[in-house]
Amino acid sequence: MADGKNQSLFKDKPVKVLLAKPGIDGHDRGMFVLARAFRDAGMDVLYAGLLPTPEEVVDTAVNEDVDVIALSLLNGAHMVVFKKVADLMKKRGITDIAVVGGGTIPDSDKPKLEKIGVSGNYGPGTRLSIIIDHVRERAAEARKKKMGSE
């Protein structure tokens, strides 16, 4: 039987996002705001917990089969920590989960992050709708790869 065009009821399960603040960073309020915004945009949102290591973030993302890992850091450690996550993904050959970043990231670091696959990199005060659209876009790419790789 041919699959229908609109399989929304069964096939298009909501975008699944893992929110994580790896490394030492005490600011959690922003994460809750994001979590709620993602949920209200129809996504399934997971929260990686307090101070997860990059390994834990990647483990959780794989076990939960998320589409997107959304990393956030306000302490300036992004070049180390985001890179660690991206490296782990690469090492494990994970290509069907997208990584987006956010936090206080100087413009000069953004291209470097993009290059290792961490996109977005929005600063505090960015409109939520912009972040949501970006996550959706990356999720669609990831989902396509998931379907293709099965």
Q: Return residues touching another protein (CB under 8 A).
A: 1-7, 9-11, 13-14, 35-36, 38-49, 52, 56, 59-60, 63-65, 143, 146-147, 150
Rounded least distance, CB 13 to another protein, Å: 6
Question: Angle formed by the axes of helices 54-63 and 78-91, to 10°?
Answer: 40
Rounded least distance, CB 146 to another protein, Å: 7
Contacts of 82 (CB under 8 A, 6+ apart): 71, 73, 99, 101, 113, 116, 118
* Residue (81 or 132) nearer to another protein, CB: 132
Rounded least distance, CB 113 to another protein, Å: 26
Rounded least distance, CB 140 to another protein, Å: 13
Rounded least distance, CB 27 to another protein, Å: 17
What is the distance between the alpha carbons of residues 65 and 31, in angstroms, rounded to a whole number? Answer: 20
* Residue (65 or 133) nearer to another protein, CB: 65
* Residue (114 or 140) nearer to another protein, CB: 140
* Residue (36 or 90) nearer to another protein, CB: 36
Label residue 79 exposed, middle or buried (CB < 10 Å: 0-12, 13-18, 19+).
middle
Query: What distances in angstroms separate CA 147 from CA 51, 95, 97, one per listed residue?
Result: 32, 12, 12
* Residue (4 or 123) nearer to another protein, CB: 4
